Amino acid sequence: MRDAVAEQLQEEEAEINLTPMLDVVFIMLIFFIVTAVFVKEPGIEVTRPEAATAFTPDSGSIFIAVSGNNEIWIDGRATAPEGVRAAIERLAAENPEGGVVIQADREAYNEYVIQVMDAAKAAGVNEITLAAAAP
């Protein structure tokens, strides 16, 4: 009987409580998820024209792509030219400090790029950047 009690005491002493460690791991996971920088993409890949003075904008929060066949993509969805202003207003309300970055394909018509720029200005966004590829 005495051996059984001693064995039970040894088992209790050797047991490691994992609850505090799991708490710390979950808190770290939440911290990394909350502080992660999410890259916003317009929804399609475009072939941007090259420019010697190309740079990466610091604070572009609304990314808009104009494809080679003149489709306008905002926030992962194709958008009609009439709906561009409303989409920009909605995204600008979420982050009023950010600007608009237009990624126009080499084959896109200037007419569609100008429509996007006009819609951004009409939506109240003053910082508009036209993205280009570095040579």
What's residue 98's pLDDT?
78
pLDDT in tens, 30-49: 888 877 766 566 667 776 77
Question: Which CATH number covers residue 124?
Answer: 3.30.420.270
Q: Is the pTM of this model over 0.85?
A: no
More confident residue, 95 or 74: 74
- The residue range of the domain holding 8 is 2-35
Tokens encoding 88 = 């920009």
Contact 120, 37 (CB under 8 A): no
- Give residue for tokens 């009987």: 1
Is pLDDT of 72 > 90? yes
**Which secondary structure element, helix H or strand E, spans residue 54, and what is its range?**
none
125 and 67 assigned to the same domain? yes
Contact 68, 82 (CB under 8 A): no
Domain count within the chain: 2
Contact 100, 16 (CB under 8 A): no
Contact 63, 88 (CB under 8 A): no
- The pLDDT confidence band at residue 119, using thresholds 50, 70 and 90, is very high
Which residues fall within 8 angstroms of residue 94, CB to CB, at 6 or more apart? Answer: 61
What's residue 62's pLDDT?
85
Counting residues of the chain whose pLDDT is more than 90, the rounded percentage is: 21
pLDDT in tens, 47-60: 677 777 776 665 56
Does 46 map to a domain?
A: no
24 and 66 assigned to the same domain? no
